[in-house]
Structure 1
Amino acid sequence: MSTDYQKAREALGARLRELRIERPDGKLTGPQLAGLLGWPHSKIYKLEGGKQTATRDDLRALSEAIGRPDAFGELAARLAGFETQIQSWRRQLANGHRPVQERWNAEVDRARVIHAWEEAVVPGMLQNADYARHVFARYADLHGSARDIEEAVRARAQRQEWLFQAGHHFRVILWEAALRSLICPPAVLATQLDRLAGVIGLDTVELGIVPFSASVKIAPANGFWVLDDRLVIAEDWHAELWLDDADSVALYTKVWKTLRESAVYGADAHNVINAARCALSSR
């Protein structure tokens, strides 16, 4: 869990404790408040100590129990503030993969310029349907989520329409590993590589590849996207990070520019793709 997330959760807990102590009808102890709510008293201490994340329903119940229903708005805003930063896969995938793709679509539709880095997978904006099916299936297996794969593939394909709209720019850098990772059968990857080669030269796409042989100034690591210098979306195994503070956006932009120094473009990028394509022929 990120330090910023934990600090925000602890700050919310401290505010809950403050409201309990400053209750209009007099201070309540933790066990007394738990009794009013029908909760185990340990839940109060976990919430106030930043050991457990409150839900909106928890905050509404607490606000009413201490006689401060007017405090719910403030508490809910605090919760929303740090929950929007860390979008756990468990929570996001509760209703399947399609809603996640649709949320992405909404953010992409707002953007004019997108900078992306992917270290191990072809980015969704450039995936063909067969490749996308295998990616979604792998993640559905990992997280035990609903297998609404066809709906998710259609939603991802809809996002790709953005690439063909005037004034849009998709500036993407891939590590060579993304061209060789067999997250799908070799035949599917071969077709995907053909699609990738085909976008080189597209007016709205700038595709760079960092070859295995390239000297790098920073270790290739987690994939991330920067949308219009206003939002960073970075992926980890447990969650996506949605970061909109200026310092985070500036840092990820700096990382992208540093990785770009090691990338090749145009004919050189074609050569790296062709090498990966040829390697599949021997499998």
Structure 2
Amino acid sequence: MRGHIGSTLRELRKASGKEAKAVARSAAMSPSKLSRIETGKLAPTAMDVDRILAAIGVSDEVRAGLVETARREATEATAWRLYRRSGFHLHQDAIRSVEAETAIQRVFQPSCIPGLCQTPEYVRAILGAKGLTAEMLSRTIGARLQRQAVLFEPTKSFRYLITESVLRWRLVSPPEMAVQLDRLITLSRLPNISFGIVPLSTPMTEAPSSSFVVYDNRMVIVEIPHAEITTSEPKDVELYLERFSRFELQALTGDAMREMVGSIRDEFLREHKGIQPGGTGTR
């Protein structure tokens, strides 16, 4: 299986006339990694295959055929410790490459503000808990912030669903949380971005469980505490699309969403200023 996928990728690359270095660069991976994949020495993840095919520029028919071949091993779990070893900033580059080839991105997040929507302070708080060196932390923060430029591409669509608890979870100081929530309100006004907030008071028939991202209808990435799981199995993708739709039905959107976020933002601002609800201040 591994060798067959690798040799097929190599043949497609050579047929395209593109050099290995150029494909590796476009796929956000090192030439040595691409070489190991092509020679069957390294099993490519679903994300690797997707990025390589996008860099080669194959037809939809050829792409579908190879994806069908790879589906028997379409689910991979990559431990966070491996990303820490290879460099979290390289993983950010890999995700950016996938996002560049995605028309519609659906994100469900019950734990924290979605990565593309995070302020620099929030990014630092999230990544600072991963035990990175100062240099690696700086490079990873830069790589994540660089990814955010994709939000302003009008040809792409972003649909975000988060729970109310995410808005209240204090990963940064109250004034920084206020700035973060204000950013959500600003982004929600862009025509290609939609936000839905699932209120804590809404009756639910299922628990939110893990966060996940669906890229078009071809791939899902699920985050769990110790690893990141990637799948391109059609039934798995469909399962997460249906789950997203069910949660979306319960979410506040548009002005109602902005009113809720704005209210919580104002709570953080009042706390910072020492103002009690209905009062003028404590000092």
Q: TM-score with structure 1 length normalisation? A: 0.68
State the AA in 1 paired with 2:220: V
* 1:161 matched to 2:149: yes
2:255 corresponds to which of 267, 272, 279: 267
Spell out the pairing of 1:9-158 with structure 2 (5 A cutoff): 73=40, 77=43, 85-138=76-129, 140-141=130-131, 145-147=132-134, 148-158=136-146
Note the residue ranges of structure 2 that are not aligned, 5 or more in a row. 1-35, 47-69, 273-283
CA offset at residue 282 of structure 1?
2.5
SS in 2 for 1:202: coil
> What value does the CA root-mean-square deviation take over the aligned residues?
2.4
Query: Aligned residue for 1:235?
Result: 223
* Structure 2 Cα separation of the partners of residues 84 and 222 of structure 1: 16
* Structure 2 Cα separation of the partners of residues 155 and 77 of structure 1: 25
CA offset at residue 146 of structure 1?
3.5
Q: 1:214 to 1:102 in 2, by over 3 A?
A: same
Q: 1:79 to 1:223 in 2, by over 3 A?
A: closer
- CA contact under 8 A between 1:117 and 1:225: conserved in structure 2? yes
- CA contact under 8 A between 1:93 and 1:146: conserved in structure 2? no
Q: 1:137 to 1:250 in 2, by over 3 A?
A: same
- CA contact under 8 A between 1:235 and 1:241: conserved in structure 2? yes
* Structure 1 Cα separation of the partners of residues 242 and 45 of structure 2: 30
1:203 corresponds to which of 162, 186, 191: 191
* Structure 2 Cα separation of the partners of residues 150 and 78 of structure 1: 28
CA offset at residue 119 of structure 1?
0.5
Q: 1:79 to 1:157 in 2, by over 3 A?
A: closer
CA offset at residue 213 of structure 1?
1.1
* 1:172 matched to 2:163: no
Once structures 1 and 2 are overlaid, which stretch shifts more, 201-210 or 272-281?
Answer: 272-281
Spell out the pairing of 1:186-201 with structure 2 (5 A cutoff): 186-201=174-189
SS in 1 for 2:140: helix
Q: 1:249 to 1:164 in 2, by over 3 A?
A: same
* Structure 2 Cα separation of the partners of residues 220 and 118 of structure 1: 9
* Structure 1 Cα separation of the partners of residues 93 and 252 of structure 2: 32
Task: Name which one, 1 or 2, has greater alpha-carbon Rg.
Answer: 1
Q: 1:265 to 1:228 in 2, by over 3 A?
A: same
* Structure 2 Cα separation of the partners of residues 78 and 127 of structure 1: 30
Query: Aligned residue for 2:67?
Result: none
* Structure 2 Cα separation of the partners of residues 244 and 277 of structure 1: 37
- Count of residues paired in the alignment: 209
Query: Aligned residue for 1:38?
Result: none
* Structure 2 Cα separation of the partners of residues 96 and 173 of structure 1: 28
Query: Aligned residue for 2:212?
Result: 224
CA offset at residue 166 of structure 1?
2.2
* Structure 1 Cα separation of the partners of residues 265 and 105 of structure 2: 27
Q: Deviations over 1:116-152 (max 9, x none)?
A: 10002110111111111111102x23xxx43422211
State the AA in 2 paired with 1:117: F
* Structure 1 Cα separation of the partners of residues 243 and 44 of structure 2: 30
Q: 1:158 to 1:121 in 2, by over 3 A?
A: same
Query: Aligned residue for 1:247?
Result: 235
- CA contact under 8 A between 1:118 and 1:174: conserved in structure 2? yes
Q: State the identity as a percent.
A: 27
CA offset at residue 217 of structure 1?
2.8
Q: TM-score with structure 2 length normalisation? A: 0.68
Q: Deviations over 1:142-180 (max 9, x none)?
A: xxx434222112111111111111210000101011111
